Every structure is written in C-alpha cells, then in structure tokens.
Amino acid sequence: MTSTFRSTSTQADVIAAVTTFLEKNPPPSMSETEFLGRRYDAGLAWVQFPVGSGGLGAPSALQGVVEGALLAGGAAPVDSMRNPVGLGMGAPTVLHHASVELRDRILRPLWTAEEIWCQLFSEPGAGSDLANVATKAVRDGDDWIVNGQKVWTSLAHRSRWAMLLARTDPTVPKHTGMTYFILDMTTPGVEVVPLRQATGEADFNEVFLTDVRIPDAMRISEVGDGWAVARTTLMNERTAIGGKQAPREEGHVGRLADLWRTRPDVRTPGAYAELMRLWVDAEVARLTNERTRQIAAMNQPGLEGSGAKVTSARNNQQVTKFLARLSPNDALTYDEWSMDKAPEHTRDRPETYHYLRARPNSIEGGTTEILLGQIADRVLDLPREPKIDPTLAWQDIPR
C-alpha cells in the first residue's frame, strides 16, 4: 500500500487506513509472520516512521489508535518479546541514525522477527562504566577489523544482527573515541558462548570477536561519535524494560493478587498490609509508566525511562520475595534446569523461578546504582560524583 500520510494525519485517517488494510489482509487467512510483514508494508508497524520504513510519517500518538483498530478487527496483539532487543532498542536507533538504504534493508525482518537482534555493549571491564569499552575496531580500507569480548548479551545465540560499540581511537577521552556499528552475527570470527543463569536458563551469552570484518557501510555513527548513538539505544532500552504499557495487575503483582483471592490460608493481617503496599506500588508504577510511554512516543526517551526501570526492578524483586514467603513449599522446589527454554511468558513457572529471575532486574539494562546517579545528577541537580578520567585519553586511564 502506498501512503501519502504526513504529520497532519488525523485519527480518522489512520482508522480508515487500518480498515482498508484489514479488508485486504484478514488476520485468519495468513500466518502471523506474513500478517506482520504486510502490516509493515502498509505503514502500520510504527506510524511515526517514514513511509517505506514501516510507517506513515504520522504523529506517534496515533500508534495507539492503530493498535486499537487492529485488535477490534481481529488481529492479535503485538508481542514485543518476539524480538525484544530489536523492537525496543534496535528499531529506534536505526531510525534516528542509520542511512535510508540500511534502514530499509533491516527494519522489515526486525519487525516480523524473522531476524532477531542483540546488543554488544557490556564487556568484562565495561559494564556499569560503558564508556570504558575496550573492544577495538581498526579501519582497513572499506572495512573495519574488530577484536574484543562482550558479555551478558541477551539472545546472542539466536540473533542475526547486533548493535556494536567499539573503541576506534584510544588516544582521546573515553566518551569521544567510540564508534557504533551494526554487525551481522553470521560474520566469520563471531563466537557465542552461553552463560548459565541461576534459573538454569542461558538467555545471556559471552561473545568473542576475532578479526571480524564489518563494512564501513554498516557504521551508523560518525567515527568517534558512537557514544551519542549509544545513548539513543540506552534510553530506549530503559523505557522498553520499565515503561511498558500494561493493564492493571499484569505481571508478578497479578499473580500475587490471584494467590490472595484463591488461598484463604495466606490471609493474615500482616500479610494483608504487605499485599496492599505492594499492590499500590505496582499501580503507581503502572500509571507513571503510562505517562513515560506517552512522553517517549512524542520525543526521544529521556531519564523518565531510567526512573521506570529502577521502579520496575524494585517492585519485581519485592513482589517475588513476598510470593515466595506466602508459598514456601513451592518456593523450595525447583527442577527446571534445562538451558534451552522457549522464550514465551513464564507466568506459570514455580515461585523459585520468578524469585531467582527477578534478582538480575536491578543489574540488566543499567544497574540501579548508575541510574539513580543519573537521576540525582540530571534531574535533581545534586552534586556529581568525582571522576578522575573525564579528560584523560582512554589509553592513559589507570586500570
């Protein structure tokens, strides 16, 4: 479908576009992947994206109208977990920084989840201090040769594409000597090694890069300006983790409410007070996240997403701990130690699983300590923590 929609598109225009699309593409007549591909081609993946790149060039606020009209027409809701890194971080980064040619090549299979994405940022010596990355990229004609190690890379074992931050100039301060690339994970020299988690899963990986060649056409930042692009990725990551749109009582707090309603034996006065505190905290977070999501839809995400991510991690950990206390027998039994688990939702797994999986919530996607520091510095205008290396060349920083 060819569209002429621009920023003046109205709600009625978008509803009409969805109606026409559904008439030509009834959801029951095709697979989910085919339906999503046609939806992309019709500009109904992300309405704010340009025509030809999954969008209509329409106001981002109209995306909710699209989703509502598609649901009313019988389409299944979009599950962001089918390609979480690609949809939450890859797509907005590519939109804002990649060339039109690259954007049009990789966005469609990202949207349909035919090509999964991962994020090659963290390293053994550069986790919370991401600007300290040591993975090296050296120019060689029209290519870059990359050597280094990344760690805690979600879904690297399933991914076709990766967002890669690498050091291209060690002689300048650490924030100004990095460059941002899109890496084809099938390139020779890329080795993925799974990391087993406390739950028995292996969603995270180490990735070793040995003389990996990346064409310069896959560079999406100016040379040495990768930090600016990385910030786009990080802000979208935190919004994706903590600022999701959700109905009341979704997630762990919903399981807690269900347990309370169906198990009279757990209803003690002390437990009731704790239940209400956790329920109210979850509802406050949900409503705040809705505002965060609206802000992100209108602009590039900011530190609102960092606050949402901090709150999400804290709430998940407190609710799963309380659930384990209310169901001690379930919490003490666990036998799901297979590394290879399907990526679907995990609501029905034992309480031990949920308790263990919530532990890294305050680390993954930016540690709580780092995010609180950003909020203190950039929102509350509190004194910054002293730093010894802001003007030193990266190669001269003490290690």
- 137, 209 in Cβ contact below 8 A? no
* Global pTM value: 0.83
CATH code of the domain made up of 230-378:
1.20.140.10
Phi-psi region for residue 215, left (φ > 0), alpha (ψ -120 to 50) or beta? Answer: beta
Positions of the chain with pLDDT lower than 70, given as ranges: 1-9, 238-245, 292-302, 331-332, 334-348
Q: Answer whether CATH 3.40.50.2000 is correct for domain 117-224.
A: no
290 is annotated as an active-site residue:
no
CATH code of the domain made up of 11-112:
1.10.540
pLDDT on residue 236: 80
Task: Point out the catalytic residue in the list 115, 237, 304, 351.
Answer: 237
Domain boundaries, the chain: 11-112, 117-224, 230-378
pLDDT on residue 304: 74
Residue 20 sits at φ, ψ, to 5 deg, of: -65, -40
pLDDT on residue 239: 66
